[in-house]
Structures are given as structure tokens and as C-alpha cells.
């Protein structure tokens, strides 16, 4: 910033103190000629003394002082009248940048301590409800959707406190205990996905995609559990073991009107679902469709745990293993 002072009564001289805002150095010129180069002191004090004039000689003292520090000019011991200041190019930039930077800092402060409300679809569920958001794909993995579910906590607690019977190859009918297609939230999921799909194969695959683990927070994750879960528990807790995913998918299929079965392998303990389709699936990843036959009908394999498998695909390692099945009847 350039400070200009005009000294003298009859003999006029122009004193310029040109301060660099970045280096804090001051160049002092008298009538355009450099008389001194000084660095501004940290303390408020005089930093330059000059004698100015040929016949009319004056003592000029430049001080760095004030609450908001600035250069002041004293002539013969008296404070010189204020003169206009001319900002340098960098000072202009700084003047523009400081308010802009201050605005950003204030905005960040407000955002940190006074965050705006989240979109109402994800904001909050009614009192004593828990909200769950799941990402899933229709159109055979091409179209992405988000679904936010509001589940009454009392409903979750009711299932959580129920007995959780164990099922094995010697008591497969126990698995039917965990199939709950009449729950309103199950009906809501099926109704929404039905409206986004065309045909039974796309619907069966979209429901399968809904329950598969996509390895991120907005999916129903796979993790080891010590007991089985009802579908409501799975939705609230966002995951569980392979049997957890199987029960949820079979429940959704039954609510959607499909015939389905649950299959259990003993050699490498695992569960998956078989779903009956009018026509063989045409969008499976593998070269051939895998199915189980029950009562002379084909039930196409659906791997419910890992993401990416389509109806008709069989994960490697299970092709030659014996599958024990229990049929889940369709909705009337």
C-alpha cells in the first residue's frame, strides 16, 4: 500500500512510503527517488528519519503505530495531516481475498455447528420407529434405487424376544417359522419393487439384489451370527448369516406370490433359495441354469449372500453337494 505525504509550504516535496503487504518492507521515496528501504518493526515505533528540502528543510519521521497499525508521518515533530493512500496491486488482491476467505470460514463454522436438516425421506422416522435405508438394483443390475423403511421398534422387539428355534436336516420344517410375508413392511418392499420391474424374472432378481451383501453400509451385510433371525430383525440390524439372508428373500418371494423352497447343504454348511419361474431364467451369469426339482417342478437356485449372482446361478463348490430342501408354499 502506498502512503503519500506532501511536505513544505513554499517548497513542496512528495514523500511516498510504499509498503509491500506480503514482505512487510517499506520503500521510502522523496520526489520519486529512493531514499530508504526498511522492514517494518514488530513493535510500534519510528522506523525512518529523513531531512527533506533544499532551502526549506524539514525533519520527516515515519512511524509504525496505532491500534490497527499504519504508517504515520511527523514533520518537525508534528503529526502531518492525513493524506490519501493508494493500494498496490497486491494490496488490492488482499483486500478482495480477505472478505472472501472470512466468508468461507464463517460458512464452515455454521455448517459444522448448525448443520442443515437432512432431506425428509432420510431425516427421521416417526417416534419409536427405526429407519433403514437399502440400496438395490432393478433391470438386472442396471438401475439403482434407494429405499428407506420405517420399522416400529415395538415390532422389532417383539420378534427379538420370540424363541429362535434351530433347524437342521433333521428338522427343516422349522425354517418356515422365520417366513413372515404378512408383515406390512415386507408388503411395502414387495409393492415398491413390483412397481419398478417388469415380469417375474426381473422381479425375482430385484428382490434377490435387495437382500444380497454389496459390501457397503447401505446393503444387508453378511456376518456370522450365533442364532437365526426373523426378517424384521435382519432389516433393523442390516445383516446376518447366510440363513438370515435366505429367510428374508424367501419371505419377500412368498409375499410376491412366488413358489419357493429353502435348501440346506451339510458338507459345507450353507443355505440358499430355489424360486419357481414359469420360464427358465435368461439373465443368469453362468452358461447354464442350475435348479432343484421338487414335486416335478423346477426351482431355480438363488444365492442370497454374495452380490452379483442372478437367479439360476450356483456359486462354485456347491454343484455336487447334496441339498436338503423344505418347500415354502405360495400365498393363496
Q: Which of 113, 132, 164 is a domain's end point?
A: 113
What CATH number did the domain enclosing 20 receive?
Answer: 2.40.128
d(CA 242, CA 212): 10
Q: Which domain holds residue 281?
A: 122-328
Q: How far is CA 41 from the centre of its chain?
A: 49
Say which residues have a Cβ less than 8 Å from residue 108's Cβ, sequence separation at least 6: none
Residue of 308, 332, 325 lying closest to 167 (CA atoms): 325
Whether residue 142 is found in the same domain as residue 61: no
Each residue's pLDDT, cut to its tens digit, for the chain (332 residues) gives 667 777 777 788 888 877 776 666 778 888 888 887 777 766 656 667 888 887 788 887 777 665 556 777 888 777 775 544 445 555 555 556 667 777 788 877 776 666 554 333 334 456 788 888 899 999 999 999 999 999 999 999 999 999 999 877 778 899 999 999 999 999 999 999 999 999 999 999 999 999 999 887 788 888 888 789 999 999 999 888 999 999 999 999 999 999 999 999 988 889 999 999 999 999 999 999 999 999 999 999 999 999 999 999 998 888 888 899 999 974 43
Element (H, E) at 241: none
* Cβ–Cβ < 8 Å for 297, 276: yes
Whether residue 152 is found in the same domain as residue 89: no
Whether residue 145 is found in the same domain as residue 265: yes
Whether residue 146 is found in the same domain as residue 173: yes
Whether residue 260 is found in the same domain as residue 242: yes
Whether residue 168 is found in the same domain as residue 252: yes
Per-residue CA distances from 138 to 135, 225, 268, 309 (Å): 10, 29, 31, 13
Residue 152 β-bridge partners: 129
pTM of the complete model beyond 0.95:
no
Whether residue 98 is found in the same domain as residue 241: no
Q: Which of 113, 145, 166 is a domain's end point?
A: 113
Amino acid at each position: 500500500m502506498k502512503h503519500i505525504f506532501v511536505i513544505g509550504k513554499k517548497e513542496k516535496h512528495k514523500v511516498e512510503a510504499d509498503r509491500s503487504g506480503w514482505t512487510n518492507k517499506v520503500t521510502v521515496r522523496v520526489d520519486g527517488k529512493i531514499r530508504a528501504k526498511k522492514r517494518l518493526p514488530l513493535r510500534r515505533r519510528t522506523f525512518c528519519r529523513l531531512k527533506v528540502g533544499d532551502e526549506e528543510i524539514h525533519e520527516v519521521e515515519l512511524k509504525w503505530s496505532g491500534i490497527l497499525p499504519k504508517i504515520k508521518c511527523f514533520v518537525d515533530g508534528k503529526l502531518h495531516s492525513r493524506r490519501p493512500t493508494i493500494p498496490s496491486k497486491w494490496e488490492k488482491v488482499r483486500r478482495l481475498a480477505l472478505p472472501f476467505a472470512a466468508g468461507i470460514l464463517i460458512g464452515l463454522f455454521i455448517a459444522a455447528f448448525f448443520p442443515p436438516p437432512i432431506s425428509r425421506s432420510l431425516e427421521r422416522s416417526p417416534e419409536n420407529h427405526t429407519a433403514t435405508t437399502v440400496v438395490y438394483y432393478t433391470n438386472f443390475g442396471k438401475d439403482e434405487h434407494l429405499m428407506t423403511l420405517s420399522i416400529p421398534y415395538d415390532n422389532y422387539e417383539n420378534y427379538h424376544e420370540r424363541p429362535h428355534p434351530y433347524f437342521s436336516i433333521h428338522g427343516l420344517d422349522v425354517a418356515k417359522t422365520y417366513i413372515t410375508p404378512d408383515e406390512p413392511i415386507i408388503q411395502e418392499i414387495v409393492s415398491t419393487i413390483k412397481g419398478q420391474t417388469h415380469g417375474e424374472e426381473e422381479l425375482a432378481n430385484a428382490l434377490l439384489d435387495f437382500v444380497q451383501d454389496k459390501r457397503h453400509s447401505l446393503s444387508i451385510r453378511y456376518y456370522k451370527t450365533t442364532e437365526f433371525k426373523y426378517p424384521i430383525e435382519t432389516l433393523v440390524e442390516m445383516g446376518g448369516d447366510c440363513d438370515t439372508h435366505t429367510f428374508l428373500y424367501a419371505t419377500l418371494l412368498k409375499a410376491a406370490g412366488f413358489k419357493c423352497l429353502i435348501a440346506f447343504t451339510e458338507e459345507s454348511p450353507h443355505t440358499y433359495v430355489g424360486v419357481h419361474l414359469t420360464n427358465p431364467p435368461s439373465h443368469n451369469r453362468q452358461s447354464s441354469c442350475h435348479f432343484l426339482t421338487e414335486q416335478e417342478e423346477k426351482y431355480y437356485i438363488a444365492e442370497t449372500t454374495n452380490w452379483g449372482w442372478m437367479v439360476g446361478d450356483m456359486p462354485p463348490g456347491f454343484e455336487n453337494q447334496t441339498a436338503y430342501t423344505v418347500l415354502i408354499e405360495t400365498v393363496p
